[in-house]
Structure 1
Amino acid sequence: MWLITAISSAILFGLAGWWMKVSQMRGGSTKTLLLGLYASGTLGFGVHAALEGTLDRLSDPHIWIAGLIIGAGSAWGNALFMKALHFGPASLTSPLTNMNIILVVAMATWWYQEPLSASEAVGISLLLLAVIFIAHKRKEPLTITEKRWFLLVGTAIIMFALRNGGLKVTEEMGFPSAPILFIAYAVSLCWFLVPSNAPVSRNAERTGLWLGIVAGLFSYGGLQLYAMALATGQANLAAPIFATNSLVVAAGAILYYKEKLTFVQWTAFGCTILGLIIIRL
C-alpha cells in the first residue's frame, strides 16, 4: 500500500510542476504563480488538519519550529533553484538540486536504521538516474562560468533536503504532518507576499496566479501523500520515488506540447519503470 501512496505522491506533485510549466508557456508571472501555489496549498493543509482533528496542535511550539524549518526549505529552495537557472544550464541545475534525495536516503538508512537490500539499492539507483536523465537538453552548453551557481545549487540542495527529510524527522518524532505543512506553506506564502519592483503585465499576473492556485492544490495532495508514504513505508525508498515527479512534467510536455525527447530522456522513463519494478520485488 505504501508503494502506491509513494507513486501517487510523485504523480500529484508532478502535476503541480506541470501547471507551473503551463504558466511559463503562457507567459504567467513567476511571482504570482508561487503566491497562488502557496496560498491554495496553505488552505489545503489547513482544511486537512481541521478534518483530521490535528489543527489544535498549532498550539505546540515544536510544531511551529518544524513548520518554520520545512517552510524555509521549501520557499528558499525554490527561490535558489530559480536563481541558479540564471547562471547555469537546467540540464545540470535540475538534476543536481534533486540530489537532495541522496541525503534523505542516507539519513533514513544510517540514522534511522531502515533496511536496504541490494535489489532495493539497485532500484533507487535507477530512479536517481531517471531524475538526472530527464533534465537532459539537446545542444545546451554545460560550461559553468559563474561561481555563484555552485553556491546557489549547493544551498538549494540543503534547503530541499530540509523539506523532504524534515518530514521524515517529524514523523519519527510522532508529529502530524498536516499542521506542520500548513505552517510551512503559510511561511512560504508570507515570503512571496513581499512586493516586487519588477514590471509585470496584468495578464501575466492573472495567468500566474490562477495556474499557481491549481498547482498548489496538486502540491498539497502530493506532499500530503508523501508524508503518508513516510509514515507507512521506508523513507529511503519513498523519497527517491517522490523525486521522479519531474517525469510527469516531461510526459505532459510530450502529450500536450508535442515536445520531442532525446534518447537519454526516454531512457529516464525506462529507468523509472524498471526501478519501481525492482523495488516492488
Structure 2
Amino acid sequence: MWFMIAVLSAVVFGATGFLMKVSQMAKGSLQHLLFGLYLTGALGFYVNSLFEGNMILNDWSLWLAGLLIGLGSAGGNLLFMKVLEYGPASLSSPLMNMYVVLIVLVSTWYYKEPLSLMELIAITFIFISIVLISVRKEPITIKEKKWYLLIVCVILLFAVRNGGLKVTEEMGMANTQILFLSYLLSCIWFGWTAWKAKESTESIRVGLKWGAIAGLFSYGGLQLYAFALAIGKANVVIPIFATNSLVMVFGSILLYKERLNQLQKVALFFLLLGLIFIRA
C-alpha cells in the first residue's frame, strides 16, 4: 500500500511544478504565483487538521518544525534560482538532487531502516533517472565562486524540506500541522513580496489563478507523502517522491508538444527499472 501512495504522492505533487510552468508560459507573476500556491496549500492543511481533530498550535516545537521545513521549501527554491544565475542548470540541477542520497543515508544508518539489495539497486536506478531528467545541454562554466556555497546550501535546504517530515514523524509530531505552519509562514513571506512587486494586472491575475490551483496539488501531494512516510520506509519513499519532476516533463510533452530528448528517454527507462526492482 505504501508503494502506491508514494507513487501517487509524486504524481500529484509533480502536477504542482507543471502548473507553475503553465503560469510561466502565460507570463504570470512569479511572486503572486507563489503567494497563491502557499495560500491554498495552507488552507488545505488547515482543513485537513480540523478533520483530524488536532489543530492545536500552542506547542513551540510545532512552530519550530514548521519554520524549518518552510525555510527548506521556500528558501531552497529561492536559493536555487540564485544558483542558476551563477552556474549552468546542466550542473546545478543534478547536484541539487544529491539531497536524495543524503536522506537515504540518514534513514538507513541513523534510523536503522533495512535496505535490501533489490531496493538499493532500485534506488540507484531512480536516482540516475532524477539526475538525467534535469540535465541540460549547455556550456559548463561557473561564473562566481559563491556558486559552490550556494549549491551546498540548496542541497541541505531540500534535505530539510523532504527529510524533515521523516524526523518529525519519528518524534511523534503531527505532520499535517507542521505542513500547515510551514505553508502559512511561506504564504506570509510571499504575500509581502507579492505586495511589493510591480506587475501588470493581467500578470497578477494569471499568477494568482495558477498558483491557487497548484497549491491544491501541492497540499495533496505532500499529504500523501507524509502518509507514505508514516507507513513505509523513508529511504525508499523519498527517492520515489523525488521523481515528481518527471510529471512536468510529460505534461509539457502533452500540452506544449515538446519532445523527449535522448537523455529523458534514458531517464524514463531507469525510472521504470527502479519501480520494477522495488516491487520485485
TM-score normalised by length of structure 2: 0.96
Provide the rounded CA distance (Å) in 2 between the counterparts of 1:231 and 1:264. Answer: 34
Provide the rounded CA distance (Å) in 1 between the counterparts of 2:164 and 2:98. Answer: 15
Match of 2:85, SS? coil
- Which structure 2 residues correspond to residues 58-207 of structure 1 after superposition, within 5 A? 58-138=57-137, 140-195=138-193, 199-207=198-206
Contact 1:136–1:262 (Cα < 8 Å) also in 2? no
Match of 1:194, SS? helix
Deviation at 1:93, TM superposition (A): 2.1
Contact 1:28–1:205 (Cα < 8 Å) also in 2? yes
Provide the rounded CA distance (Å) in 2 between the counterparts of 1:205 and 1:150. Answer: 34
Mean Cα deviation higher: 34-43 or 143-152: 143-152
Which amino acid in 1 is paired with 2:5? T
Counterpart residue number, 1:31 = 31
Deviation at 1:219, TM superposition (A): 0.5
Provide the rounded CA distance (Å) in 1 between the counterparts of 2:237 and 2:3. Answer: 7
Provide the rounded CA distance (Å) in 1 between the counterparts of 2:192 and 2:7. Answer: 35
Provide the rounded CA distance (Å) in 2 between the counterparts of 1:89 and 1:215. Answer: 27
Root mean square deviation of aligned Cα:
1.3
Provide the rounded CA distance (Å) in 2 between the counterparts of 1:190 and 1:26. Answer: 25
Provide the rounded CA distance (Å) in 2 between the counterparts of 1:207 and 1:50. Answer: 30
Query: Are 2:221 and 1:222 aligned?
Result: yes
Query: Are 2:18 and 1:18 aligned?
Result: yes
Provide the rounded CA distance (Å) in 2 between the counterparts of 1:153 and 1:117. Answer: 31
Match of 1:193, SS? helix
Deviation at 1:199, TM superposition (A): 3.6
Contact 2:122–2:273 (Cα < 8 Å) also in 1? yes
Match of 2:134, SS? coil
Mean Cα deviation higher: 87-96 or 191-200: 191-200
Match of 1:86, SS? helix
Mean Cα deviation higher: 85-94 or 108-117: 85-94
Deviation at 1:198, TM superposition (A): 5.0
Provide the rounded CA distance (Å) in 2 between the counterparts of 1:35 and 1:4. Answer: 30
Provide the rounded CA distance (Å) in 2 between the counterparts of 1:198 and 1:190. Answer: 14
Which amino acid in 1 is paired with 2:148? F
TM-score normalised by length of structure 1: 0.96
Contact 1:137–1:262 (Cα < 8 Å) also in 2? no
Contact 1:12–1:219 (Cα < 8 Å) also in 2? yes
Which amino acid in 2 is paired with 1:48? N
Provide the rounded CA distance (Å) in 1 between the counterparts of 2:252 and 2:191. Answer: 30
Contact 2:93–2:135 (Cα < 8 Å) also in 1? no
Deviations 1:33-88 (A, max 9, x none): 111110011000000000111112x1222211111111111110111112222222
Q: Which runs of 5+ in 2 are unaligned?
A: none
Taking only the aligned residue pairs, the percentage that are identical comes to 53
Deviation at 1:205, TM superposition (A): 1.5
Query: Are 2:249 and 1:262 aligned?
Result: no
Match of 1:260, SS? coil
Counterpart residue number, 1:9 = 9
Deviant stretches of 4+, over 3 Å: 195-199
Contact 1:75–1:191 (Cα < 8 Å) also in 2? no
Provide the rounded CA distance (Å) in 2 between the counterparts of 1:260 and 1:83. Answer: 28
Contact 1:99–1:157 (Cα < 8 Å) also in 2? yes
Deviation at 1:8, TM superposition (A): 0.5
Which amino acid in 2 is paired with 1:238? V
Provide the rounded CA distance (Å) in 2 between the counterparts of 1:122 and 1:192. Answer: 40
Which amino acid in 1 is paired with 2:125? L
Mean Cα deviation higher: 89-98 or 255-264: 89-98
Contact 2:38–2:183 (Cα < 8 Å) also in 1? yes
